[in-house]
Every structure is written in C-alpha cells, then in structure tokens.
Amino acid sequence: MSIQKLLYTARTLLLVLVSWCCGASILLAQDREVMLTDSINRISVADSAHIIAVSDSLLQTSIEKSIKRERFVPDPIRSMWLGLVFPGGGQIYNHKYWKLPIIYGGFLGCVYALTWNSQMLHDYSQAYLDIMDTDPNTKSYEKMLPIGYDITGREERFKNIFKNKKNFFRRNRDLSIFAFAGVYLLAVIDAYVDAELSTFDISTDLSLHVEPTVIQTTSAKTLSSETVPGVRFVLSY
C-alpha cells in the first residue's frame, strides 16, 4: 500500500508540474505576443512620423520653389532691348503673354491699312497720269469708273477727282506707316514701364489716415513761435 501511495503522489505531482509548465508557456507566449505587438506599433508610429516629416519637407520645398517663381522681377533695360529687337519680346520676357494678341493685332491692322492704301494710291496715280496725257490708248482710269460710264466732256472734273483720290490715299498710306511705328514704340514703352512697375506695392496695406495735430509756426512780426491746431494726412504703405 505504501508503494501505491507513493506512486499516486508522484503522479499527482507530475500532473501539477505539467500543468504549471503549460500555464507558464502560455503566459510566456502571451507576453511575447504583447511585446511583438508593441514593437510593431512603435515601428508603425516611427514610420508614420518619418513619412509625415518627409512629406512636410517636400511640401515646404515645393512652396519655396513656387514662391521663388512668383517673385520673378524683370529687368527694365533688358525688357526694353528685347522689345526693340523683336516686337513683343519685352512682353514675353515680362511673362505678360495676354498682351501679345493686342500688339500683333495692331501690327496686322497697320500692315493691312498700309497695303490697301498703297494699292489704291498706285491705281489712282496711274489713272490720273492716263487721264492727263493725250494718248488714247492709255485708259486705265476707266477701271475706276462703273462699267459703260462715259466721261466725255467731263474730263476736267474727273481729273480733279482722281487727283484728290490720289492725295487722299497717299495721306492714308503715310498715316499707316506712322501708326505702325507708333504701335512698335508703344510695345517697347509698355514693356519697359511694366518691368519698372513690377516691384510697385499694390497690397492692401496702402491706407490714408487723417488725424489732428499741432503745428509750430513763427510769426513774421514778433519772431515768436506759436502753436496752432491742424490736420495731418498720413499715407501708410
């Protein structure tokens, strides 16, 4: 019986030891899992912080680059010379591309007026020469009249008409040349002034304040100083 009791006691102790080992293993596994989870969370937080820092750095760099682009200040002299060498070059240099259609539209209008008036001047000049000579074969002036229109007996009247037309289109041709030169000079002046005013402050900080003040004056008769009330205008910019 004593041997059986000893065996029973030993088996009981063995079961208790096995149970304790299993429990310890489970607790150890849980602790490792918690530690692993904490490590993963720490790594995730660190990675997130690093990603945020990199994103902020890239954003700051892009903002600084955009600010540098927005702070482009053109050189007035360079803008003027570019406008002189190439019509519209000053506006391109100043990044005022919307002005190009206006400038080139002015040039095209002047070229069209110059071409039209030059052609009409040539035609009326030739017609005037033909009607003034005595050669019956030179009748280019008939092209300037309606078809079948006869001017027999009214040659002197039409001589004056052709002469006036010739002078009219000559004047318009000259005005077209001056207008072309005017558009060219206006483009150059606009480029220079635009570049010169690129640093002019047009922010909302411009303000005018009116406030009372005391003015020190000197009398011409008594040579004594006097104080008189007044109004002061203060321009802030």
Same domain, 37 and 6: yes
Q: Among the residues of 133-234, which ranges form H helices?
A: 155-196
Same domain, 229 and 128: no
Q: For the ranges 97-101, 108-112, 136-140, which has the lowest average pLDDT? A: 136-140
Share of the chain above pLDDT 90, in %: 30
Most confident of 65-69, 96-100, 233-237: 96-100
Which pLDDT value is given to residue 150? 73
Same domain, 81 and 195: yes
- Give the span between the Cα atoms of 230 and 58, in whole angstroms: 56
Q: Is the confidence at residue 39, as pLDDT, over 50? A: yes
Which pLDDT value is given to residue 80? 92
Going by pLDDT thresholds of 50, 70 and 90, the confidence category of residue 1 is: very low
Same domain, 37 and 9: yes
Q: Hey, what are 206's tokens?
A: 């411009």
Tracing tokens 């011409």 back to the chain, one arrives at 220
> 226 and 218 in contact (C-beta within 8 Å)?
yes
Same domain, 159 and 193: yes
Same domain, 186 and 83: yes
Mean pLDDT estimate for the chain: 77
> 110 and 176 in contact (C-beta within 8 Å)?
yes
Same domain, 195 and 213: no
Average pLDDT on 4-16 reads: 61
Same domain, 87 and 195: yes
- Give the span between the Cα atoms of 228 and 42, in whole angstroms: 75
Last residue of a domain, one of 28, 49, 71: 71
Share in percent of the chain as helix, strand, coil (round to 5): 70, 10, 20
Average pLDDT on 161-182 reads: 93
Q: Is the confidence at residue 32, as pLDDT, over 70? A: no
Q: Hey, what are 161's tokens?
A: 């008409």
Tracing tokens 């010169």 back to the chain, one arrives at 196
Q: Is the confidence at residue 222, as pLDDT, over 50? A: yes
> 113 and 176 in contact (C-beta within 8 Å)?
yes
Same domain, 120 and 97: yes
Same domain, 183 and 86: yes
Residue (of 129, 152, 153, 149) closest to 139 by Cα position: 129
Same domain, 162 and 99: yes
Q: Is the confidence at residue 75, as pLDDT, over 60? A: yes
- Give the span between the Cα atoms of 188 and 40, in whole angstroms: 67
Which pLDDT value is given to residue 172? 95
Last residue of a domain, one of 56, 71, 86: 71
Entry pTM: 0.56
Domain membership of residue 46 as a residue range: 1-71
Q: What is the CA radius of gyration of the chain?
A: 48
Number of domains in the chain: 3
Same domain, 39 and 13: yes
Last residue of a domain, one of 9, 36, 71: 71
